[in-house]
Amino acid sequence: MKIENIHADWGSIIYLDSPQEFFNHSADYWRSLMYERKLIFFKKVEFTKAEYAEFGTYFGSPWTSADYKYSREVVESVETKNGTMAISPFSNANSKLIDDREMPWHADIPNREFKPYPFRSLWITANPNPELSGKTSWLNLEKGMDFLTPKMKEMIPTVKVVQQSWYEKGKDIQEFDLLKVHPITGKESLRLNYYNWGPLKNAWILDVKINDLAQGHCFLIRQWLQHLEKFSELRYQHTWDLYDIAIYDNWSFLHSRTALKFTEEQPIRHFYRINIDHLTEEEWNLHKQ
């Protein structure tokens, strides 16, 4: 196994000698590495679907079929040596919200009151035209705290964001502090996300409040994202090879994707996905206390 760091303090690319080499290391090893590096890629891993499902158990608590009902993500049941497990197949063909367009900066599952911002893992199994389309970028919001201006830092306690459901516009409207705290590491980051701007009809952030006064727009979110994305130390863009696996921490990151550009002969880009909670149900209840 070879590990290459993307940045000195975050992000790693791992080359396994064989898919089975992953399972030679303990869950404690992989979970500790995940919280240390926050974004990990495993290069060209030709797992079976059962092995990929088992992969998720090494990082936390993978979602069950019942959990996926919340996100409305497609579920495929897979028989493994640990019993029936759930993974989520998705592509530009079966996702009406994503399709082929460019996707701006966002984090997933931000409104879920019970264990929000899970780890996300993506395993790419069909990837036409990778050099020209579908490149995925990550923006490190946790490290970004050190790149805020003094004025931004001073504003943080005065700002709240009003979020809505990604799945149904105008539903599940909730108000949050701009600052969020990681349930495992205790590290701070900003609650930035898709914002209600231009064509983004289902944007998560609907409005911003400053000193409890609704702004009626999301200019502040746009300005802060534009500020952070200027710094190369906070960004990484990945060009996918077939069977690459990514796993990343939604608490700490935003991600985005360039538009998909395919030929008629190869119109589908396909992944399997696993959502993995940081905490078990018992741990989450203790955390909330």
pLDDT digits (tens, 9 = 90+) for 182-237: 989 999 999 999 887 665 566 899 999 999 999 999 999 999 999 999 999 999 99
Please name the residues in contact with 187: beta carbons below 8 A apart, sequence gap of 6 or more.
142, 181, 252
Average pLDDT on 148-152 reads 98
Residue found by looking up tokens 């992000």 in the block: 11
Cα-to-chain-centroid distance, residue 177: 20
68 pLDDT band, cuts 50/70/90, is very high
- Residue pair 220/159 in contact (Cβ under 8 Å)? The answer is yes
Give residue 227's Cα distance to chain centre: 20
| Whether residue 41 has pLDDT greater than 90 | yes
* Residue 289 pLDDT > 50: no
Cβ atoms of 245 and 238 within 8 Å: the answer is no
pLDDT value at residue 200: 58
What is the pLDDT confidence band of residue 167, given thresholds at 50, 70 and 90?
confident
Q: The whole model's pTM is what? A: 0.94
Q: Which tokens is 249 given?
A: 């921490």
Sort strands 174-177 and 83-91 into parallel, antiparallel or unpaired: unpaired
Give the other-Cβ count within 10 Å of 118's Cβ. Answer: 25
Mean pLDDT over each residue of the chain, to the nearest integer: 92
DSSP secondary structure code for residue 154 in this structure: H
241 — pLDDT class (breaks 50, 70, 90): very high
Specify whether the CB–CB gap between 65 and 77 falls below 8 A: yes
75 and 258 in contact (C-beta within 8 Å)?
no
How is residue 245 written in tokens?
A: 């696996």
Instruction: Give pLDDT, residue 287.
Output: 59
CATH number of 2-141+238-288: 3.60.130.10
Residue among 238, 244, 245, 249 at smallest CA distance from 276: 249
Q: Would you give the DSSP letter of residue 94?
A: T
- What distance in Å separates the CA atoms of residue 140 and residue 212, rounded to the nearest whole number? 28
Helix (H) or strand (E) holding 36: helix 27-37
284, two tokens: 């989450």
Task: Count CB atoms within 10 A of the CB of residue 120.
Answer: 19
The closest alpha carbon to 40, from 69, 62, 24, 16, belongs to 16
Enumerate the domain spans of the chain: 2-141+238-288, 143-228
* CB-based contact 175:205 (threshold 8 Å): no
89 pLDDT more than 70: yes
- Report residue 142 as tokens: 């946790």
Distance CA 105, CA 141 (A): 11
Strands 12-15 and 39-42: parallel
pLDDT band of residue 93 (cuts 50, 70, 90) is confident
Structure-token pair, residue 129: 């035209």
Burial category of 73 from C-beta neighbours within 10 Å (exposed 0-12, middle 13-18, buried 19 and up): buried
